[in-house]
Amino acid sequence: MNKKVAFYTLGCKLNFSETSTIARGFEKEEFERVDFSEEADVYVINTCSVTENADKRFKTIVKQAQKSNPEAFVAAVGCYAQLKPEELAEVDGVDLVLGATEKFKITDYLNDLTKNDRGEVHSCEIEDADFYVGSYAIGDRTRAFLKVQDGCDYKCTYCTIPLARGISRSDTLGNVLKNAKEIASQDIKEIVLTGVNIGDYGKGEFGNKKHEHTFLDLVKALDTIDGIHRLRISSIEPNLLKNETIDFVAQSNSFVPHFHVPLQSGSDAILKKMRRRYLSNLYVDRVKRIKEAMPHACIGVDVIVGFPGETDEHFLETYHFLNELDISYLHVFTYSERDNTVAAEMDEVVSKKVRSKRSKMLRGLSAKKRRAFYESQLGSVRTVLLEGENKKGYIHGFTENYVKVKAPWNPDLVNTLHKVELTDIDTDGLVRFEFVSNEVMA
């Protein structure tokens, strides 16, 4: 009987792509992959350190694994495992903790799968995380996450990612294209490019800071690959989103008109305290440039509320800035203190109650923005990629510009592309459509 392994991933798309690569390593060792809710011999938890909740959820997930099989071997990998390996090793039931460089060699550490009294730690100094491991995740039949870059050289005062993932480094262009072709061969219609700071792509492609390729080179090369119908840029810093990239996406074969551009604050005073590499006027310029090139483009924004020193005036500056900006939705993060960051030592701490209130206000603004964006798309003809899950009798999907749609469930529509006209917004906020023709596009 093959031994069984199960995975649980916390955090970002990048983590999902890396879990898939780790899983393929287990499959080579003839492990059978099962769902995390099932009984397994090994449970691997890929951790995240970005939010406070990810830390807390870890213990709950370990308990879930132990409930399924009290004798199972439990391993923790990922960002939290790199930042706080000893803390994770102390959690009851954890047998192995692997840091940033060790996680891809996890099967080398699984000798006899005997439970340990305390978690065994193999964690490098983060300076040693200077090599690149390519990854991609195929989570469902319609979409894949393709990792192109890892680590970050920025020193934002609130962020632990450089401590958890090391310096900025990139996959070789040849390897990215090879992975993209492998994905295309599996009848997956959409690739989402992921990384920690993907606009920095090219740096570290040869293990040093020399650039042979840029993010624009990467985008142009991927656009030529047959069999990929859609390419989506997951998140890109405003200072690294160049005019040339925007203009190329506007006339590209495969790249879709959807940008996710982190802002973090609309107040220049707070941006400076965060040590972001731009001010609000550059952000306005990026949004205008996108909308001029692609009026129907969807623009998502990351924003942090409750950063130390954020007064009511600073917050309202952010609120009004976002309210007036031609954007489509927000991802709102409530600031939480992280050990070993500059921000954690700052004065003028914002109370949890105020943080929560501000978060609620911006989430309300996000709902308003998304609704307005969806309304602006009614009557237009778009391409929809329909997904594989039956949700209460409906099939869901996304247009190229990230409008979420729904239709009565039909298994024949799974993983198909269609030209549709967006007709109206349902009571749940999703958009209904009519097929422009019965023809399946691919």
Contact partners, residue 427, CB within 8 Å, separation at least 6: none
Q: State the Cα–Cα distance between residues 198 and 152, nearest whole angstrom.
A: 9
Q: What is the pTM of this model?
A: 0.88
> Checking phi first, is residue 306 left (phi over 0); if not, alpha (psi -120 to 50) or beta?
left
Is 9 in contact with 194 (CB distance < 8 Å)? no
pLDDT tier, 49 (very low <50, low <70, confident <90, very high otherwise): confident
pLDDT tier, 439 (very low <50, low <70, confident <90, very high otherwise): low
For the chain, what is the mean pLDDT?
Answer: 91
The 42-47 sheet, strands edge to edge: 32-33, 4-9, 42-47, 73-78, 96-98, 120-122
pLDDT score of 442: 60
The amino acid at residue 62 is V
pLDDT tens digits for range 294-324: 999 999 999 999 999 999 999 999 999 999 9
Please say if the pLDDT value at position 326 is more than 90: yes
216: nearest Cα among 195, 194, 199, 203: 199
Q: Based on the number of CB atoms within 10 Å of its own CB, is 264 exposed (0-12), middle (13-18) or buried (19 or more)?
A: buried
**What's the Cα-to-Cα distance from 55 to each of 11, 221, 303, rounded to whole Å?**
11, 38, 21
**Dihedral angle computed from the Cα positions of residues 160, 163, 167 and 173, in that order, rounded to the nearest 10 degrees:** -70
**What's the Cα-to-Cα distance from 427 to each of 124, 335, 431, 432, rounded to whole Å?**
51, 32, 9, 10
The pairing of beta strand 149-150 with beta strand 32-33: unpaired
Query: What average pLDDT does this structure show over 99-103?
Result: 85
Please say if the pLDDT value at position 127 is more than 60: yes
pLDDT tens digits for range 392-401: 999 999 999 9
pLDDT score of 389: 85
Please say if the pLDDT value at position 207 is more than 60: no
pLDDT tens digits for range 219-259: 999 999 999 999 999 899 999 999 999 999 999 999 999 99
Is 141 in contact with 187 (CB distance < 8 Å)? yes
pLDDT tens digits for range 255-274: 999 999 999 999 999 999 99
The amino acid at residue 135 is S
Please say if the pLDDT value at position 137 is more than 60: yes
